Structure 1
Amino acid sequence: MGYLLLILGIALWIGGHLFKRLAPAKRAAMGENAGKGVMAVVLLASIVLMVIGYRSAALVTVWSPPSFMIHINNLLVLIGLWFFALSAIPGKMSARVRHKQLTGVKSWAIAHLLVNGDLASIILFGAMLAWAVLSVILINKAEPTWERPANASARNDLIALVVAVVLFGVIAVVHTWLGYYPLPMSGA
């Protein structure tokens, strides 16, 4: 049942995010506020289903990642969080990367694929990576031109990095609380 809920949650997540791009007339017919409300409920339901499905999926080990991957994972997660922060705090890097949040998702998904060799993780993080790549392709096709932000500040890049480090710390605490220790242990 866990895998079914996980896949249903992923399908809702991808469908909810791509609905506006793949069926713009139907999305527009829903109205601005009602459409956002419906999509918020769909996306919240997708997250709940993914979490329940992932946590209840039977463990099927596909491969065993080497222990050094945790360092690469943490770096890629930090980079992903930095791109998310850059989407709200325009720095010089913001002017170079069009899809900051989707780039952050790709970095996060790759990071988790490197350290999780179980089937549920491969399904979840592989699907999130595929969704982010597909979203970039669809956005670039629909909106081929992009106006780069002007007057970007290198100082903002540093502020975004500090925000990313703080978020990383919070996420590390939550992961530890859930029983997934994200930091390398001494002697490991």
Structure 2
Amino acid sequence: MMADLLLIIGVFIAFHLIPAFGPVRRMLVRALGIKMYVGLYSAVSVGLLVLIGLAYANADTDILWPQWPWTRWMPIFTMPFVCLLLVSTLSEPNPFSVGVKADRFDPDHPGIVSVTRHPLIWALGLWAVAHLAPNGDTASVLLFGLFAVLAFVGLWSLDAKKRRDMGEEKWRRLTAPTSSFPMWAVLRGRTRLDLKGIGWLRVVGAVVLYGTILLSHEYVIGVSPLPF
């Protein structure tokens, strides 16, 4: 039912907004420890995402706009970039976003951070916007609209938190080779696109992930992603 989807979306938003307040987050980190906090936060987030998916699949829905043929191409062209951002998020050091070994980040070799310092958030936002266009029913607008809004609000929120945690001097030094908006630092001449840092293995990983999504989409979601 639509009420179930609205309820779980509300819980999801509240769960992510409350720890965003500095005093609340610091209290939780002190009480649990950073590793326990991150682990619990991630586990609950995944659980809520599963519940959102189940509620979305069973929601009553109405059509707000028809599915024009050109809109089916948007995920096809967008998801390769989403996959590269995701693969890089999981494998490259990044002190500004979710990533591994953030303390090993080298501003002279920023990798995917030369594209954006928030690859995970942009992956989420691009995924949501690309899927919103061909899915004009009320349940899809709620689902994909939620993640689009959370992603782009998260850009500002995460930057503010990281800047406060790092201090102004460290923030300016580490952000020199990057930007929040993709490719903006490259276009402004503040850095170069670090293709070597990204590496061909991550590109291959993104291609494999993209192919897996294409092949499994109809079986998992129930709808073919192909536009023809």
Per the TM superposition, whether the score is higher than 0.5 is yes
TM-score interval (norm. to shorter): 0.7 to 0.9
CA distance in 2, matches of 1:13, 1:5: 12
Correspondent of 2:226 among 179, 183, 187: 183
Alignment match, 1:117: 136
Alignment match, 2:3: 4
Alignment match, 1:168: 210
Contact kept? 1:70, 1:115, Cα under 8 Å? yes
TM-score, with length taken from structure 2? 0.70
Stretch moving more, 157-166 or 29-38: 29-38
Could you give the per-residue CA deviations for residues 27-66 of structure 1, whole angstroms, max 9, x where no partner exists?
2244124434432442133112201110001131010121
CA distance in 2, matches of 1:9, 1:159: 38
TM-score, with length taken from structure 1? 0.83
Alignment match, 1:24: 25
Percent identity of equivalent pairs:
22
Letter in 2 for 1:83: L
Contact kept? 2:112, 2:197, Cα under 8 Å? no
Larger RCO: 1 or 2 (CA < 8 Å, sep 6+): 1
What do you get for the CA RMSD once the two structures are aligned?
2.6
Matches within 5 A, 1:1-188: 2-22=1-21, 23-32=24-33, 33-90=35-92, 92-144=111-163, 145=171, 147=174, 148=177, 152-154=194-196, 156-178=198-220, 179-185=222-228
Secondary structure of the residue aligned to 1:87 is helix
Secondary structure of the residue aligned to 2:90 is coil
Could you give the per-residue CA deviations for residues 163-188 of structure 1, whole angstroms, max 9, x where no partner exists?
22211221223321032100122xxx
Stretch moving more, 159-168 or 105-114: 159-168
Stretch moving more, 56-65 or 37-46: 37-46
Unaligned runs of 5+ in 2: 93-109, 164-170, 179-190
Could you give the per-residue CA deviations for residues 114-160 of structure 1, whole angstroms, max 9, x where no partner exists?
11111111000000011111111111122333614899443634432
Letter in 2 for 1:16: F
CA distance in 2, matches of 1:41, 1:87: 18
Stretch moving more, 36-45 or 132-141: 36-45
CA distance in 1, matches of 2:206, 2:145: 23
Could you give the per-residue CA deviations for residues 3-24 of structure 1, whole angstroms, max 9, x where no partner exists?
2332333333333344432222
Aligned residues: 184
Stretch moving more, 20-29 or 75-84: 20-29
